[in-house]
Structure 1
Amino acid sequence: MVKFSEPDLDRTFAALADPTRRALLARLVSQDGASVSELAEPFPVSLPAILKHLNVLSDAGLITRQKTGRTVTCRLNAAPMADAMAWLDHYQQFWSAQLDRLAHFVEDDDLS
């Protein structure tokens, strides 16, 4: 089986489980570096709530933050998502093989 650091994967999947955090990441895909206030602007939640979401994303390694003066800029770090995709790929290959075997069985059964 593919070996991955379980705590890292757990943090990645936990961070991606929340729709607000996924939306924050999507905004960072379209903007290479955005301030916390720019990221928070379209969301109907408080700035402290956005900061908590950003802390989760940062702890998972999905974003990096850089402070310049009073402005904190966030950037996307997609490396943890690549590890999660590799983990998912392993299981996608397994299930594809199982479904191919099932289809072959059903097709053979139809011929009899």
Structure 2
Amino acid sequence: MPDQLSEIFGALADPTRRDLVARLAVGDATVGELAAPYEMSVQAVSKHLQILQRAGLITKHPVAQRRSVHLEAEVFDLMTKWIERYQRQAEERYSRLEALLARMDEDCNVVRGELKETS
């Protein structure tokens, strides 16, 4: 069974599902409301929502006669922490590279300076 992070990224790999998440970030909606702007059936949108639900990105709640779809924002914390960890590592690597290049530039300038003095 895939881990939750793989499920989340897999669910968000599809542009329609990313759009659904973006729309749900504005507010809860019914399946019918979510399906309205797409040129696909309500059943097709429901399948997309099932994938998002399996990944833990959304939940469905009964409201009167309808089912309201709700975005589970805390799931994004898991993604954010994962991304930030690798972002920090990349930034540290670039800082070390920048420092190395600066030292090499200084060494080069020293050598050039010595060559000018001996000429």
TM-score bucket of the superposed structures, by smaller chain: 0.7 to 0.9
Moved over 3 A (4+): none
The one-character-per-residue Cα deviations of 1:66-85 (angstroms, maximum 9, x if unpaired) are: 12454111011012211011
How many Å separate the matches in 1 of 2:80 and 2:63?
A: 33
Q: Does 1:13 align with 2:9?
A: yes
Name structure 1 gaps, 5 residues minimum: 1-5
**CA displacement at 1:52 relative to structure 2:** 0.6
Which residue of 2 is the match for residue 92 of structure 1?
87
Which residue of 2 is the match for residue 78 of structure 1?
73
Q: Paired residue for 1:28, among 24, 33, 44?
A: 24
With normalisation by structure 2, the TM-score equals 0.82
Which residue of 2 is the match for residue 63 of structure 1?
58
3-state secondary structure, aligned to 2:81: helix
3-state secondary structure, aligned to 1:43: coil
**CA displacement at 1:89 relative to structure 2:** 0.9
Structure number with greater CO (CA < 8 Å, separation at least 6) is: 1
Which residue of 2 is the match for residue 38 of structure 1?
33
Tell me the percent identity. Answer: 37
The total of aligned residue pairs comes to: 106
Name structure 2 gaps, 5 residues minimum: 109-119
